Amino acid sequence: MKRLDLIFSERELDQMLKSLEKAKVPGYTVTKHVTGRGPERVVSEDMEFTGLGANAHVIVFCDQALLEQIKIYIQPLLNYYGGVAYVSDAEQL
């Protein structure tokens, strides 16, 4: 199995989750109020203040086969709005 870590702006959370659902993921876990820095942007806590929102960190545990599918759905969002996606190995306990 695989573990997918997605980090992107909270403002796109709904859209991202919809895309994941379209890709038929078996489940996901969301941590909000996450901050960070990418190659271009710094996301700090005062972003929440202005309503921009901080980042969301989404974890998906799924089969390797599903990753391609997910990629198709979420790549446009990541390209348009920014954000990162990394994959690691994982197995059920």
Partner 1 sequence: MDTSLILQNVLTPPVLFFFLGTISVFLKSDLEIPAPLPKLFSLYLLLAIGFKGGLELQKSGMGGPVLPTVCASILMSLLIPLICFVVLRLKLNVFNSAAIAAAYGSISAVTFITAESFLESQSIPFDGFMVAALAIMESPAIIVGLLLVKLGAPKERPIERKMRWKEILHESMLNGSVYLLLGSLLIGLLTGAFNPSGVAKMQPFTGKIFYGVECFFLLDMGIVAAQRLPSLKKAGSFLIGFAVLMPIFNALIGVFVARALGLQPGNALLFTVLCASASYLAVPTAMRMTVPEAKSSYYISTTLGVTFPFNVVVGIPVYMGLVNNLIPTPG
By CB under 8 A, residue 18 contacts partner 1: no
- The CA distance from 10 to 31, in Å, is 10
Whether the CB-CB separation of 93 and 13 falls below 8 Å is answered with no
Is residue 76 part of the contact set for ligand AMP (CB under 6 A)?
no
Instruction: Rule CB under 8 A: say whether 65 interacts with partner 1.
Output: no
The stretch among 14-22, 28-36, 44-52, 64-72 that binds ligand AMP (CB under 6 A) is 28-36
83 touches which of partner 1, its own copies, ligand AMP, none (CB within 5 to 8 A by kind)? ligand AMP
In three-state secondary structure terms, 77 is helix
